[in-house]
Amino acid sequence: MPHHHRAESHLNGRIGWLRAAVLGANDGIISTACLLLGVAAANVERHELLITGIAALVAGAMSMAAGEYVSVSSQADTEQAELERERIELHEQPLAEHRELASIYVTRGVTPELAAQVAQQLMAHDALSAHARDELGIHEASAARPIEAALTSAITFSVGSALPLLTVLIAPAHLLIPALALTSLLFLIALGLLAARAGRAPLLRAAVRVGFWGALAMVTTAGIGKIFGTIV
């Protein structure tokens, strides 16, 4: 009976949006929860907390989108500049570029004769793609996509930021601070587990890492809010 080769599923195509999604949601939960805890510790009214949280959601989502767009656009510009320089070198020095590509394969364990043949065949098929992949490390699956990164960060930040706001809406007034801290910590741990599962990474390590830094941030801001609330 013939054996059918099963195509393997890899995560390279997910890396860009997964990073932006996790960063956005994590920042949304932590920054909004910390801000709300700091303000709540200063003994303000619930409606003031909600206004603060909504402002944090809108400002944070816009900031995340702008930051991701600028950052990833810079990466995309660098990639395009590198590709353009490589295109010129391929046109002006094809033999030197062939030797350079072959030498890369030799350093990976291929014999010089076979490396020269592989480089020749790949360059005959698509020289720029071969050099982009093996010389520059630029892959189509992980190429910079500024708009995708910006939208993903803005949306996931908004979702993450909305979770602490929901707690403020429904939690009893006398339990507001502990409820906000506990639910936000649970949201962070759940996000860490979800991200680890999507990226096929160790679950426990991701949950502990996200939970620890989230708890530290919330304790710090709540303490500062309490101090300044008492002083003022």
97-129 pLDDT, tens digit per residue, is: 898 889 989 988 889 889 899 889 888 888 888
Residue 49 CA to residue 140 CA, distance in Å, equals 45
> Which residues, at least 6 apart from 160, have a Cβ–Cβ distance to it below 8 Å?
24, 25, 26, 27, 28, 29, 32, 187, 191
Average per-residue pLDDT for the chain: 81
Evaluate if pTM is beyond 0.85: no
Q: State the average pLDDT over residues 2-21.
A: 53
Residue 156 CA to residue 24 CA, distance in Å, equals 5
Residue 98 CA to residue 89 CA, distance in Å, equals 11
Residues shown for the chain: 232
Which of 211, 56, 76, 207 has its CA nearest to residue 150?
76
pLDDT band of 150, cuts 50, 70, 90: confident
Residue whose token pair is 């099963």:
6
Residue 19 CA to residue 148 CA, distance in Å, equals 11
Residue 57: pLDDT above 90? yes
Asked if residue 135 lies in contact with residue 100, where contact means CB atoms within 8 angstroms, the answer is: yes
| Residue 101 in tokens | 């590509």
- One-letter identity of residue 211: G
- Weakest mean pLDDT among 55-64, 72-81, 184-193, 200-209: 200-209
Residue 13: pLDDT above 70? no
Indicate the domain borders of the chain: 13-226
